[in-house]
Amino acid sequence: MLCSLYTITGTVMLFRINHSAGQPIYLQLMQQIRHAIETGVLRHGDLLPGIRTLAEELGVSHNTVAKAYSELEHAGALELRHGSGAYVTAKRPTRSRTEKMRMAQDRISSLVAALQSEGFSEEEIRRLFEAHLLHPTASKEMV
């Protein structure tokens, strides 16, 4: 697990990269940037750190950051302006979307709290989520 704090034009972004999860790092970066855009942490027109800078800061290969940025550009979430950098081009999040995200977060918090009160550890809960998301068709029948 690697945490890195990065300040972009006044906004503070927290990246959490898991090198051992079953997910390429560039995907993790993409998701976290998307999440920041959807919850309004990153706003339209914000400038993301340069590829080299972010790679150096996070301690990952610049190819990884480059791929994340490039994929986000294809998805329309970023605009890579030659010479200036990567700008967020998010449609202004509709209230309902932001509302939905906040509600989803609330639901997850209460589910996690419920599981914890049943005696599941954080690690176990995380594993359950990850396994389900990674492999939705695997059945978990235990004898």
- Does 133 bind another protein (CB under 8 A)? Our answer is no
- From residue 87, alpha-carbon distances to 57, 124, 128 in Å are 19, 38, 35
Provide the minimum distance between the beta carbon of 118 and another protein in the complex, in angstroms, as a whole number.
Answer: 21
Per CB under 8 A, the segment of 31-39, 61-69, 71-79, 118-126 that binds another protein is 61-69
For residues 76 to 115, the per-residue mask of contacts with another protein, x marking binding by CB under 8 A and - elsewhere, is ----------------------------------------
Q: Looking at 31, 61, 109, 121, which residue binds another protein (CB under 8 A)?
A: 61
Residue 75, classed as helix, strand or coil, is: coil
Q: Residue with structure tokens 């800078």?
A: 53
Q: What angle do CA 92, 76, 36 make, to 5 degrees?
A: 55
Nearest alpha-carbon partner for 14 in 30, 36, 34? 36
Interacting residue ranges for another protein, rule: CB under 8 A? 2, 19-27, 51-52, 55-56, 59-64, 67, 127, 130-131, 134-135, 137-143
